[in-house]
Amino acid sequence: MTDARSLVVKPWVKRYPVDGGPATLVFPHAGGAALAYRSLGTALAKAGSDAYVMQYPQRGDRLSHPAPASVGDLARDLFDAGDWAALGPVRLFGHCMGAVVAFEFARVAEREGVEIDALWVSASEAPSTVAAAPDLPMAQNEIIAEMVDLGGTDPRLLDDDDFVELLLMAVRADYSAFNRYACDADATIAADIHTLGGDRDHRVSEDMLRRWETHTTGAFTLSMFDGGHFFVNDHTAEVAELVNDV
């Protein structure tokens, strides 16, 4: 296993290294920046994972990078950001849209001979169900309403015009790619899939999480936590320990 300090990755990949620990790659939700997952990255490192949080284009230090045309293109872009094979078996963690991006990352990785140990799915619909769902909104007022409904964004920030402008850029880039996404029902990865959800999440139900089982030829588990769509923010240490223990 490669020493985390010697692994070459793109500078926009945020690292929380633990030398000798298993690698966990984190994929943010739609519109989410890597900085929003600093607490999870830190918790994963504390639990023993060598954590890497991905940064998508059109935000943070990738503000000038063009928006991906598709989720597949985004997954490939993130795969090309580092020599992940050097880390040994890799774990993936994705929240909401990030779980679908992580799934497509796993498909690329497995085709390229990179071993994916497990995919952790947090608050996400299954890939094969995305195309049948209503398109995500692109108008400003609808996006803001979506952010309020989902939670996870400090409402005070939505009164800041500069913040809203940057948020809209990131969200539209992700939503546009996600609205074009389609996945066959029989598309699978060899990696185990472990799903996590909030018992009060009004957007992603336990039944929706269970549909991920069809996308793995390995093991499948489901764990529910107290909370809503962003339950992870209230259970960061517990989630990190769970990811590191399995």
| Sequence ranges of the domains in the chain | 4-245
38 Cα distance to chain centroid: 13
- At how many degrees (to 10) do helices 140-150 and 161-179 cross? 90
> Over the stretch 30-60, which tens digit does the pLDDT of each residue have?
999 999 999 999 999 999 999 999 999 999 9
Q: How far apart are CA 184 and CA 173, in angstroms?
A: 23
Nearest Cα residue to 121 out of 51, 47, 206: 206
Other Cβ atoms within 10 Å of 165 Cβ, number: 10
Q: How far apart are CA 246 and CA 93, in angstroms?
A: 13
Burial 126-150 (b: 16+ CB within 10 A, else e): bbbebeeeeebbeeeeebbebbeeb
Compute the half-sphere exposure of residue 176: CA atoms within 13 Å on the CB side of its CA.
16
DSSP state of 136: P
Instruction: Return the higher-pLDDT residue of 245 and 192.
Output: 192
Asked whether residue 102 carries a pLDDT value surpassing 60, the answer given is yes
Asked whether residue 1 carries a pLDDT value surpassing 50, the answer given is no
Mean pLDDT, rounded, for 147-165:
88
Asked whether residue 2 carries a pLDDT value surpassing 70, the answer given is no
DSSP state of 9: B
- Residue whose entry in the numeric block shows the structure tokens 């790659």: 25
The answer to whether residues 123 and 195 touch, using CB atoms and an 8 Å cutoff, is no
Output the pLDDT for position 41.
Answer: 98
Instruction: Assign 115 to helix, strand or coil.
Output: coil
Q: How far apart are CA 208 and CA 156, in angstroms?
A: 31
Superfamily of domain 4-245: Alpha/Beta hydrolase fold, catalytic domain (3.40.50.1820)
Output the pLDDT for position 60.
Answer: 96
pTM of the model: 0.96
